[in-house]
Amino acid sequence: MKRSERIMKWVFGIAAGASVLAVALICYFLFSGGLPAIKEIGPVSFLFGKVWKPGNGQFGIFPFIMGSLCVTAGAILFGVPTGLLAAVFMAYFCPKKFYKIMSPCVQLLAGIPSVVYGFFAMVVIVPFVRDHLGGSGNSMLTASILLGLMILPTIIMQSEAAIRAVSETYYEGSLALGAGKERSVFKVILPAARSGILAGVVLGIGRAIGETMAVVMVAGNQPRMPQGILEGVRTLTANIVMDMAYATDLHREALIATAVVLFVFILIINMVFALLKRKGEKQE
């Protein structure tokens, strides 16, 4: 092995080790700071309690769990079908001249800071919802639409890459058998690319459930159980951000424990994705 190859081997190994070490340190910080609080408050009271009043010693985060799940589900409902159809259009139906414009625009969407998305939602989406659907505009629906918009570039780029990775022989063979272009794409290409598409969806879900600033700006931030799509909600991430600046003692530890719950949610999502991907590879 050449000297340069040995050096690069060590460089890559150190980089990989640093990544593993970073994850291990994050896990240690979260669990060492959060598990004692869960034990003191009580797992049932903490996870399923419906009242969050730190001043009174009440630390129930169930409303925030439901708020995060509802907002993320809404984002999936808005973002996944739109992103998948956009990816199909860009891969098989988009004219080359228009693709040269559309592709950079999608990449630009991925680079816009979340606070800018939040300002856009405050100026455009919130007034639209308030004037046409009712309520204050700062609601679960507004947050879902905003997050659906934010996860679009992730889903589009990942899905398009997965679709283009499918061999052209699948598409050409389907056409040769008499299937139309649309049928060939949706019945042959998409099933063959489902693992890559699923990866994009999972990445989008991860961004949606972990988004903070944009949600804080438009969700209403009401610490109660979700009452409806036009009512305000508070998510796990929003609760951490809003309380951490002044939290002390058990209150601060409860916020770290909230981060533990969020971390576990992300782990579960990744595990489900890994199982689905493995199942899909076996079927292929």
Asked if residue 55 is part of any domain, the answer here is: no
pLDDT at 87: 92
Are 35 and 153 within one domain?
no
Q: What is the CA radius of gyration of the chain?
A: 22
| Domain boundaries, position 209 | 61-283
User: How many domains, the chain?
Assistant: 2
Asked if residue 202 is part of any domain, the answer here is: yes
Q: And the tokens for 233?
A: 């909600």
Q: Within 10 A of 9 (CB to CB), how many other CB atoms are there?
A: 11
pLDDT digits over 12-51, tens only? Answer: 889 888 988 998 898 888 888 888 888 888 888 899 988 8
From residue 281, alpha-carbon distances to 142, 155, 171, 172, 232 in Å are 37, 20, 20, 23, 41
Q: And the tokens for 279?
A: 């199942």
Are 228 and 189 within one domain?
yes
Helix, strand, coil share of the chain (percent; to 5): 80, 0, 20
Are 40 and 69 within one domain?
no
Mean of the per-residue pLDDT values for the chain?
86
Asked if residue 56 is part of any domain, the answer here is: no
pLDDT digits over 214-246, tens only? Answer: 888 888 888 888 888 888 888 888 888 888 878
Are 32 and 114 within one domain?
no
pLDDT digits over 60-81, tens only? Answer: 899 999 999 999 999 999 999 9
Asked if residue 53 is part of any domain, the answer here is: no
pLDDT at 89: 92
pLDDT digits over 75-109, tens only? Answer: 999 999 999 999 999 988 888 888 888 889 998 88
Are 165 and 275 within one domain?
yes
